[in-house]
Structure 1
Amino acid sequence: MKTRSAQRLLIAFTAVAALAASLPGCVPLVVGGTVVAGAGMVATDRRSSAVQLDDQAIELRGAARVSQIANDNMNVTVISYNRQVLLVGTVGSEADKQRVGAEMQRLDNVRGVVNEVTVGPGSTLADRSNDTYLTGKVKASLLDAKDIFGTSFKIVTERSVVYIMGIATRREADRASDVARGVAGVAKVVRVMDIVTDADLANAQRSNGTVATPTAPAPVQDAGAGGSSSSSRVPLPPMAPLPQSNVSPAPAPAPANNGVVTSPVR
């Protein structure tokens, strides 16, 4: 009996080990809500679970809205972090760019829209492959940095321009930008962040590890943002109907200076 029990235990351990080995290397281990990247640094998502759900809903509904208004020359990606929407991709005209930005601004729970869509031809397969490569390199470089939590940032790359999204202190934002600028092939670094104080971050880490979501759009880097918590509405109500085709598109939101700091590569 003891021999059979030992054999069963050995088989169970072998199966678990095989399952762990089959998982992608970039997938972190989650223990009690804490992300453990191998044996390295440990960090939690600085957004609350409600805000994370909001971000997922915003991206899904944003993509659905884009598909409804899309034409042959429109290829736009919607990314949301801390309810701040980043738009990247290409469109065929300035009017299309303005309309996409306006439609995203109408989505529930969106604090602000950073419209980085460009007017021109779509990206090539080589462009997209290079962007994927650069995203992986920047993420790896952030994880290798020992003085910041690389998992606290969301990295998006579009035509060699790296966008860094997150909730960070001024020092963390500057350090992350320096790391991204050091990756060969990166043309420019754009930060779309909520800047918080060291005290705000320390208080959040002592409580539940999340940082309060500001009610206003993400400030420019020089304006720091502690901000008060805004309530989440999950599940979200149905999207408002699209305007009729004979109605001119609503004016676009203010130019996307809001929350963006562009750091050219040295």
Structure 2
Amino acid sequence: MTTSSTHRLVLTLTAAAALATALSACVPLVVGGAAVGAGLMATDRRTSGAQLDDQAIELRGASRIREIANDQMYVSVTSFNRQMLLTGTVANEADRRRVEAAVQGIDNVRSIVNEVQVGEARSFQVRSNDTFITGKVKASLLDAKDVFATSFKVITENGVVYLMGLATRREVDRATDIARGVSGVQKVVRVVEVVSEAELAGQLRQGGTAAPAAAPAPSSSRVPLPPMEPLPASPSGGATATPIR
């Protein structure tokens, strides 16, 4: 091979590598266990910065918990709009406190909602059923025409459905009703940042998002979230909704 041919080959390989690097930037972003591409980022009420922060918060939180984990600690970390939700089970109250202490101080976290329960780890059957319930709730939210489904993140733990999101009070109540109607749901807990209809409309006009451009200070009036009045119990004795604790 001549020097000229070798030079052209090097240039071709360099260009191909550059193209591959550029294309890799289009790979969907994994946020909260779901693949999120540019299209969903555009419809998500969080800013793109908040979405990236949520991904980083989940990764750092999981890493810190792994450092203190024992054989009876099964904890999941979920973040939405820089608010962290801890779910799962631990062996005792001391471990529950250790989990929360471990994730304290992670960058950009506005608040932590600790819903970790003390008790036995969930069986494979229970965890599979929780995954099934999550899928059904998400599908039901997507089917509803009066709810912006991507405003909510759905997590299920032992039949308890957690709704995380950024929505109006009407949307929260409607999403709660939808989740309550899904078979297998034992209770619905709302971990939602409530915005007014006017604020939502204004934010949507400005840029299609109802999330603040930057993380609010920890002293923001929205953190911790205002308690929500519980919905009345189902007449059939089924699922009920609870305020955020």
TM-score for both structures, normalised by structure 1: 0.68
Q: Structure 1 or 2: larger helix share?
A: 2
Which residue pairs with 1:228 in the alignment? none
Distance 1:120 1:29 in 2: 34
- How far 1:50 sits from its partner (Å)? 0.8
- How far 1:219 sits from its partner (Å)? 1.3
- How far 1:218 sits from its partner (Å)? 4.2
8 Å CA contact 1:188, 1:262 repeated in 2:
no
Query: SS at 1:147's partner residue?
Result: coil
Distance 2:145 2:83 in 1: 28
Which residue pairs with 1:254 in the alignment? none
Distance 1:65 1:109 in 2: 15
* Residues 198, 214 of structure 1: alpha-carbon distance in 2 compared, 3 angstrom cutoff: farther
* Larger RCO, structure (CA 8 Å, separation 6 or more): 1
Which residue pairs with 2:89 in the alignment? 90
Gaps of 5+ in 1: 1-26, 37-42, 223-260
Distance 2:111 2:170 in 1: 24
* Residues 28, 93 of structure 1: alpha-carbon distance in 2 compared, 3 angstrom cutoff: closer
Higher deviation after alignment, 157-166 or 207-216: 207-216
8 Å CA contact 1:194, 1:218 repeated in 2:
no
* Residues 76, 130 of structure 1: alpha-carbon distance in 2 compared, 3 angstrom cutoff: same
Query: SS at 1:207's partner residue?
Result: helix
- Residues 94-173 of structure 1 aligned to structure 2 (within 5 Å): 94-173=93-172
- How far 1:34 sits from its partner (Å)? 4.0
Query: SS at 2:99's partner residue?
Result: helix
Counting aligned pairs with the same residue, the percent is 57
- How far 1:105 sits from its partner (Å)? 2.2
Query: SS at 1:99's partner residue?
Result: helix
* Residues 206, 175 of structure 1: alpha-carbon distance in 2 compared, 3 angstrom cutoff: same
8 Å CA contact 1:84, 1:113 repeated in 2:
yes
Deviations 1:211-237 (A, max 9, x none): 215433241245xxxxxxxxxxxxxxx
Q: Which amino acid aligns with 2:177?
A: D
* Residues 142, 173 of structure 1: alpha-carbon distance in 2 compared, 3 angstrom cutoff: same
Deviations 1:216-266 (A, max 9, x none): 3241245xxxxxxxxxxxxxxxxxxxxxxxxxxxxxxxxxxxxxx765625
Which residue pairs with 2:5 in the alignment? none
* Residues 35, 61 of structure 1: alpha-carbon distance in 2 compared, 3 angstrom cutoff: closer
Which residue pairs with 1:54 in the alignment? 53
Q: Which runs of 4+ in 1 moved over 6 A?
A: none
